[in-house]
């Protein structure tokens, strides 16, 4: 599978939504795994990382679901190619910052990906649209079991799977969902959500995870602890919290429409006006305006048809995707803002 094949055929979870109210966009399960008697990537020499990569990637590429997928060593990718994979949530920002002895393997469906020598020797992830954490866990568990049968995993009967960061000890699992929460943001309830989540050992982060902002009212929500709970318990708690939060978001949107109908409709209309007429749009402004349109569509203020490809549009207006569409080798921020505005204008007009 070639890089262009990967980019020209985005996974369904990237461009489709299973949530009728467009609240829960994706579900992801990520597992951290390491080998015995082998230094963690951050402590290993270049030669040790390359030896570990040769062993782990060779076995991973033999797993049926990963055969025929896209494989690349980070040292062979350009900075733009790395950023494209980050923007599609196929690799982490941490892996993109690395090079020698690091690689990624992505299944043909692009639901599954394996990161080699990021913080841990292996980071396995599986992504599905909507609230499907249990299904994602079942899928990645099969891949994990096949790898564990082939590789000497570092495991302790008391501490569980050994990881580079102590916070990942135990199951090594991060169960996360991407949620669109404009109703709770506008009604100033997100602080209460963050506090309630913390009491359940759940954390609320931005679009690209730890250290990033919640641009466009998009939040990544995941379990904070991995030690002391089973995988099934983590998935169940996260699924229940996500369902409850989606219900709160929907109620917040309906209350806003009931108490401030004209203001909400005006905000949605203004967002549409700017998006269909602006000649320059930054990433932050575009995502913020598209967020209002998405909310308006869920409340039947705005046509669902005009937003049928909104997830794909959001992906295509990220900086690295725009640079790929540019006809020049060097793109300035202003040029990217112009291309972004053109893409959105054409998408909303149906051209």
Collapsing DSSP to helix, strand or coil, 104 comes out as strand
CB neighbours of residue 36 within 10 Å: 10
Within 13 A of 94's CA, how many CA atoms are on the CB side?
12
Q: Tell me how far apart the alpha carbons of residues 205 and 230 are, in angstroms, rounded to a whole number.
A: 23
Alpha-carbon distance values, 217 to 15, 186, 295 (Å): 18, 9, 10
Alpha-carbon distance values, 216 to 52, 144, 341 (Å): 39, 34, 16
Asked if 276 and 349 count as a contact pair (C-beta separation under 8 A), the reply is yes
Q: Tell me how far apart the alpha carbons of residues 197 and 223 are, in angstroms, rounded to a whole number.
A: 9
Annotated binding-site members: 26-30, 89, 123, 174-178, 205-210
C-alpha closest to that of 97 among 205, 171, 208, 217:
208
Maximum distance among all Cα pairs of the chain, rounded to whole angstroms = 64
Asked if 249 and 179 count as a contact pair (C-beta separation under 8 A), the reply is yes
Q: Tell me how far apart the alpha carbons of residues 277 and 160 are, in angstroms, rounded to a whole number.
A: 55
C-alpha closest to that of 295 among 263, 343, 341:
263
The C-alpha angle with vertex 337 and arms to 332 and 339, in degrees rounded to 5, equals 95
Annotated binding-site members for ATP: 26-30, 89, 123, 174-178, 205-210
Asked if 110 and 6 count as a contact pair (C-beta separation under 8 A), the reply is yes
Q: Tell me how far apart the alpha carbons of residues 225 and 240 are, in angstroms, rounded to a whole number.
A: 16
Which phi and psi angles does 110 have, rounded to 5°? 65, 15
Q: Note the residue count of the chain.
A: 351
Which phi and psi angles does 174 have, rounded to 5°? -120, 115
Asked if 268 and 302 count as a contact pair (C-beta separation under 8 A), the reply is yes
């Amino acid at each position: 599978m070639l890089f262009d094949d990967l980019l020209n055929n985005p996974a369904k979870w990237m461009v489709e939504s299973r949530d009728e109210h467009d609240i829960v966009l994706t579900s992801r399960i990520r597992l951290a795994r390491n080998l015995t008697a082998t230094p963690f990537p951050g402590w290993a020499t270049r030669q040790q990382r390359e030896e570990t990569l040769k062993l782990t990637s060779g076995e991973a590429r033999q797993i049926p679901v990963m055969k025929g997928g896209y494989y690349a060593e980070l040292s062979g990718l350009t900075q733009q190619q790395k950023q494209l994979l980050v923007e599609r949530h196929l690799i982490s920002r941490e892996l993109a910052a690395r090079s020698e002895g690091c690689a990624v393997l992505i299944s043909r469906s692009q639901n599954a990906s394996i990161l080699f020598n990021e913080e841990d020797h292996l980071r396995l992830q599986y992504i599905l649209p909507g609230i499907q954490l249990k299904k994602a866990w079942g899928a990645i568990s099969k891949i994990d079991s096949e790898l564990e049968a082939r590789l000497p995993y570092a495991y302790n009967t008391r501490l569980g799977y050994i990881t580079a960061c102590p916070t990942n000890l135990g199951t090594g699992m991060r169960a996360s969902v991407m949620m669109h929460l404009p109703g709770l943001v506008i009604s100033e309830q997100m602080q209460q959500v963050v506090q309630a989540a913390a009491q359940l050992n759940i954390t609320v982060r931005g679009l690209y995870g730890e250290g990033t902002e919640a641009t466009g009212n998009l939040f990544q929500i995941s379990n904070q602890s991995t030690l002391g709970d089973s995988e099934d318990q983590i998935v169940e708690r996260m699924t229940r919290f996500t369902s409850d939060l989606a219900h709160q978001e929907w109620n917040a949107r309906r209350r806003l429409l009931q108490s401030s109908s004209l203001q909400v409709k005006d905000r949605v209309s203004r967002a549409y006006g700017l998006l269909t007429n602006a000649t320059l749009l930054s990433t932050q402004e575009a995502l913020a305006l598209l967020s209002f349109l998405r909310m308006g569509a869920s409340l039947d203020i705005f046509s669902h048809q005009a937003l049928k490809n909104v997830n794909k549009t959001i992906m295509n207006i990220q900086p690295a995707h725009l640079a790929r569409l540019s006809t020049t080798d060097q793109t300035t921020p202003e040029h990217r803002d112009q291309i972004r505005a053109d893409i959105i204008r054409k998408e909303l007009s149906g051209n």
